[in-house]
Chains A and B, each alone.
Chain A
């Protein structure tokens, strides 16, 4: 692993985000200094995320797929078609997450609520934190949003649009709470989940999201119904939980948020593979995968230090999974030697002489 390169990527990413914040907020003119803590945490967490991503890309298998995915996508004659496939996959797998629906409706609903709750929240809060979006009061109840300093449409403070805009984070917080509720219920009742889950990996992310959502809703409650009672304390608690979650992003379960889009490349690779030359199992002659996949896999296996070359010159991985099992079965079936003591019904440790003595007796 080349940590130096990954560190450089991480630092570079943090630097780029800092520049974008400076430019987007018009030299901090539109920057809200109350959100400074969030900004610093976001810059650090973004660098850490890129550091982790760069490390991840150094795995031999990941690098191979990353390169191959781009190579297949950028083929000039198929570029438009590939973009179509990628867009369709993005809509089905990333936006609608149809593959989770196949695993179960409750699971899908849980993930859908948490994911969209978080994404919408992030799309609202990050631009606000970075000073890319800010609001200005116009007249008595008119609000105008500014994006990168450019004015957008004026909205009436008492309109439904304004209510939805100002309470969007409350709505997403409820989405996240319901999603986390379903997830934790499942984790407390499903035997399989109970056996496999780990507190740090599977519970902590939910608890953090719940902490963020509850403290966020408490801010609304405090300002709406309690005249701002304990507002600063709640705001600080909310900030602390958000920052903790941001720092957890690159190293825990939440890393799949940035890792998952890699499935677009894999999906494209697979959708294109039927047109390619197919790998034929040397034993049963079934076509079980595209040849390029098997060749790539063999290269990765070699890089990892394994050598599965068989005496006939083929690699074990050239065979289909079923033939691999049968070949082992045949090797096993060929083992028995009637002259071996074990075959005669005694333990392997006992010598042949002992067997013979027993037989004579």
Chain B
């Protein structure tokens, strides 16, 4: 993959321009495939933008019973082939990054395909072209990295499993990878609220494009 995405969550201001722009992509017209999640709205304004990380060995494609998810020659993990997708949601629940979305009525899975209609013509993906802060950038490694102070990393560890991706995450540290090892506590202050009933605040519901299980 010559040109790819570089995601820098610390630059994300949660404006959701990317979410709006993503709907314009011709390969999934009208539906946004990008996520901007609040880490914990009560404690922080921090947001986490998530696009498909385009894994080198995509779990979503391997767990697909219909063999519907194909990887392009450039390593872009595509949306499920429409004639094949059985709407079983295996990919939705298997993806370590929580990326694929599904729609029961249309019997369809869709996901970020790096705006294949644009990138295959040398244009930037919609999200990268509208992001005002550079939280989502698109270009070659040689182009982007010298412009940034942060460290590009494409290795992620989920418990025992390491996942190599074609999309880079920009780290404000010298760490070699991002380790996800549990429910998570943010800066020692945010723990999962024991009293929480799992409900989102009204603002999250308003901003959200999907429910928690990624139905759009």
Q: Using a CB–CB distance below 8 Å, which chain A residues touch chain B?
A: 56, 59-62, 64-65, 93, 99, 102-103, 190-192, 194-196, 253, 256, 259-260, 262-263, 266, 269-270, 281-286, 288-289, 293-294, 297, 300-301, 304, 306-312, 314-317, 320-337, 340-343, 345-348
B133 at the interface (CB under 8 A from A): no
With both beta carbons as reference points, the residue of chain A lying nearest to B193 in the complex is identified as: A284
What are 22 A-B interface contacts by the 8 Å CB criterion? A102-B106, A191-B117, A260-B86, A262-B65, A262-B66, A263-B86, A263-B107, A282-B183, A283-B183, A285-B198, A300-B63, A308-B158, A308-B159, A309-B159, A310-B159, A321-B92, A324-B95, A327-B183, A330-B184, A333-B44, A333-B187, A334-B185
* Contact status B184-A327, CB under 8 Å: yes
* Contact status A340-B174, CB under 8 Å: yes
With both beta carbons as reference points, the residue of chain A lying nearest to B183 in the complex is identified as: A283
* Contact status B158-A297, CB under 8 Å: no
* Contact status B149-A331, CB under 8 Å: no
* Contact status A317-B174, CB under 8 Å: no
Find A308's partner among B26, B160, B192, B198 (CB 8 Å cutoff): B160
Rounded to whole angstroms, the CA-CA distance of A311 and B157 in the bound complex is 12
* Contact status B158-A332, CB under 8 Å: no
Rounded to whole angstroms, the CA-CA distance of A1 and B27 in the bound complex is 33
* Contact status A311-B116, CB under 8 Å: no
Give the tally of cross-chain contacts (CB within 8 A).
241
Once A61-B64, A307-B159, A309-B160 are accepted as A-B contacts, the answer to whether A328 and B178 lie under 8 Å apart by CB is yes
Rounded to whole angstroms, the CA-CA distance of A281 and B93 in the bound complex is 11
* Contact status A316-B159, CB under 8 Å: yes
* Contact status B213-A321, CB under 8 Å: yes
Q: Using a CB–CB distance below 8 Å, which chain B residues touch chain A?
A: 9-10, 25-29, 35, 37, 39-40, 44, 46-48, 50, 59, 62-67, 78, 82-84, 86-90, 92-99, 103, 105-108, 116-118, 120-121, 149-151, 156, 158-161, 169, 171-175, 178-187, 190, 192, 196-198, 212-214
Q: Which residues of A sit under 8 angstroms from B39, Cβ to Cβ?
A: 326, 329-330, 333
* Contact status B26-A195, CB under 8 Å: yes
Rounded to whole angstroms, the CA-CA distance of A310 and B160 in the bound complex is 7
* Contact status B190-A330, CB under 8 Å: yes
Q: Which residues of B sit under 8 angstroms from A253, Cβ to Cβ?
A: 83
The smallest C-beta distance from A308 to any residue of chain B, in angstroms, reads 5
Rounded to whole angstroms, the CA-CA distance of A185 and B107 in the bound complex is 24
The smallest C-beta distance from B155 to any residue of chain A, in angstroms, reads 13
The smallest C-beta distance from A80 to any residue of chain B, in angstroms, reads 24
Query: What's the dominant secondary structure at chain A's contact region?
Result: helix
* Contact status B67-A59, CB under 8 Å: yes
Which 4 A-B residue pairings sit nearest by Cβ, starting from the closest? A329-B48, A330-B184, A195-B117, A321-B98
Rounded to whole angstroms, the CA-CA distance of A317 and B214 in the bound complex is 14
* Contact status A329-B173, CB under 8 Å: no
With both beta carbons as reference points, the residue of chain B lying nearest to A328 in the complex is identified as: B180
Rounded to whole angstroms, the CA-CA distance of A192 and B26 in the bound complex is 5
* Contact status A348-B48, CB under 8 Å: no
Q: Which residues of B sit under 8 angstroms from A262, Cβ to Cβ?
A: 65-66, 86
* Contact status B173-A62, CB under 8 Å: no
* Contact status B93-A326, CB under 8 Å: no
* Contact status A317-B94, CB under 8 Å: yes
* Contact status B65-A64, CB under 8 Å: yes
Q: Which residues of A sit under 8 angstroms from B180, Cβ to Cβ?
A: 310, 316, 327-328, 331
* Contact status B161-A307, CB under 8 Å: yes
Find A65's partner among B59, B88, B96 (CB 8 Å cutoff): B88
Most buried by A among B39, B46, B88, B105: B88
* Contact status B28-A192, CB under 8 Å: yes
* Contact status B90-A311, CB under 8 Å: no
Rounded to whole angstroms, the CA-CA distance of A260 and B182 in the bound complex is 38
The smallest C-beta distance from B151 to any residue of chain A, in angstroms, reads 4
Most buried by B among A260, A270, A333: A333
Rounded to whole angstroms, the CA-CA distance of A325 and B38 in the bound complex is 10
Once A195-B27, A195-B120, A322-B37 are accepted as A-B contacts, the answer to whether A289 and B159 lie under 8 Å apart by CB is no
Q: Which residues of A sit under 8 angstroms from B40, Cβ to Cβ?
A: 326
Find B149's partner among A65, A281, A322, A347 (CB 8 Å cutoff): A347
Q: Which residues of A sit under 8 angstroms from B184, Cβ to Cβ?
A: 283, 326-327, 330-331, 334
* Contact status A329-B120, CB under 8 Å: no
Q: Which residues of A sit under 8 angstroms from B161, Cβ to Cβ?
A: 306-309, 316
* Contact status A192-B37, CB under 8 Å: no
* Contact status A266-B105, CB under 8 Å: no
Rounded to whole angstroms, the CA-CA distance of A286 and B181 in the bound complex is 20
Q: Which residues of B sit under 8 angstroms from A321, Cβ to Cβ?
A: 92-93, 95, 98-99, 212-214
Rounded to whole angstroms, the CA-CA distance of A192 and B24 in the bound complex is 11
Find B107's partner among A56, A93, A191, A269 (CB 8 Å cutoff): A93
With both beta carbons as reference points, the residue of chain A lying nearest to B39 in the complex is identified as: A329
Find B158's partner among A288, A294, A316 (CB 8 Å cutoff): A316
Given pairs A61-B64, A300-B94, A345-B149, 4 additional interface contacts (CB within 8 A): A99-B108, A316-B159, A332-B171, A342-B171
Rounded to whole angstroms, the CA-CA distance of A261 and B176 in the bound complex is 46
* Contact status A331-B59, CB under 8 Å: no
